[in-house]
Structure 1
């Protein structure tokens, strides 16, 4: 049975390009064009596009409404969209009308793109799964940045790769944009894995090394 998808484009805002939180992996020169391609393909296929924009409290170091960092990137702002959400928490579901909009439109599959993989994308992926939706994650139309804190340090590549593996193990079918666009054409839905099989492969690979 064909899926009734919606593409959600999360927080593609100038903060991640010219502000205090530059995305590093995948490079913006890869992820931004893929976000645009996904939006164009969705529009052409009749898949509704939801654009999400994050707003922090006034004076916050990032996403302060009215500052340049809060603005949507022009590549997203100029494209058609079917629904717009302004959010104040990590998940696109929290404190917004997303769940109601999904229900009214008969959506059963949410395709997640945008920034950041490990924060607002992850929160939205988990929220969608808990709401009973099928979820897809566009791994090359999203991205992470590096962290260092009391718990340790991780590169942007590590964070993005690990979250993608975790998503695929149980929460979302992780797919590249070109393959997702082909799935729109063919009607074949990407498939997520499961924790048991993912773990078994890892243990078998370790034994074979």
Structure 2
């Protein structure tokens, strides 16, 4: 029998502020988190974060190099407030928070070790952005032989069409794609 975990990825203050166009997103995600907890499914949070000065970031890395450059102007992911999980979906004491260094939840983190130690072999993916952390994590998790479910409305992207194409055409090749309501019905019955 599969043992699942719900991954809540990059739903941290700095990211939510950039993608805050959907006022229903955090309440929907909260329902999924509450359903997982109620069903005894572990909730694991993944955030992106770096040391002061961004020593993990190469200037050749187009995405993270730009973030490191902005950090010198006072922004970025090197301070506690930016990396903090949004309070509307905050972890409970004892729920793991994994810090990653790149787009995939597995890149530069101990996520695989946390999952293997808990004997988790199936992941339910949520997060911001669909075309970022969700896509990269899905691809890597599939290559690591995890069973995968994506909560389509538990993901958010800056481009609605990209989100649609990923959740309707790309992700179904490697994952079951369902809504939060569909998923919560299966875990609460």
TM-score w.r.t. the length of structure 1 is 0.74
Question: In structure 2, which of residues 59, 64, 84 is the aligned counterpart of residue 71 of structure 1?
Answer: 84
Give secondary structure in 2 for the equivalent of 1:158: helix
- Tell me: CA distance 1:163–1:82, structure 2 relative to 1, closer, same or farther (3 Å): same
Distance 2:10 2:86 in 1: 9
Question: In structure 1, which of residues 102, 107, 110 is the aligned counterpart of residue 123 of structure 2?
Answer: 110
Question: In structure 2, which of residues 176, 181, 185 is the aligned counterpart of residue 182 of structure 1?
Answer: 185
The aligned counterpart of 2:165 is 162
Q: CA deviation at 1:165?
A: 1.8
Distance 1:11 1:115 in 2: 6
Question: In structure 2, which of residues 27, 47, 51 is the aligned counterpart of residue 53 of structure 1?
Answer: 47
Q: CA RMSD in A?
A: 2.0
Question: In structure 1, which of residues 75, 93, 106 is the aligned counterpart of residue 106 of structure 2?
Answer: 93
Q: CA deviation at 1:158?
A: 0.3
> Highest relative contact order (Cα 8 Å, sep 6+), 1 or 2?
2
- Tell me: CA distance 1:59–1:79, structure 2 relative to 1, closer, same or farther (3 Å): farther
Indicate if the aligned counterparts of 1:23 and 1:143 stay in contact, CA closer than 8 A. no
Q: CA deviation at 1:71?
A: 2.8
Instruction: Name the count of aligned residue pairs.
Output: 170
Distance 2:39 2:161 in 1: 33
Q: After superposition, what is the alpha-carbon deviation per residue over 1:131-174, rounded to whole angstroms, capped at 9, x for unaligned? A: 001111111111001xxxxxxxxxx1101101112344311111
Q: After superposition, what is the alpha-carbon deviation per residue over 1:13-63, rounded to whole angstroms, capped at 9, x for unaligned? A: 122333xx3244xx2x22211111111111111101101111153554564
The aligned counterpart of 1:22 is 19
Give structure 1 regions of 4+ aligned residues with deviation exceeding 6 angstroms. Answer: none
Unmatched segments (≥5 aa) in structure 2: 55-67
Give secondary structure in 2 for the equivalent of 1:90: coil
Indicate if the aligned counterparts of 2:122 and 2:146 stay in contact, CA closer than 8 A. yes
TM-score w.r.t. the length of structure 2 is 0.81
Unmatched segments (≥5 aa) in structure 1: 146-155, 187-209
Q: CA deviation at 1:88?
A: 1.0
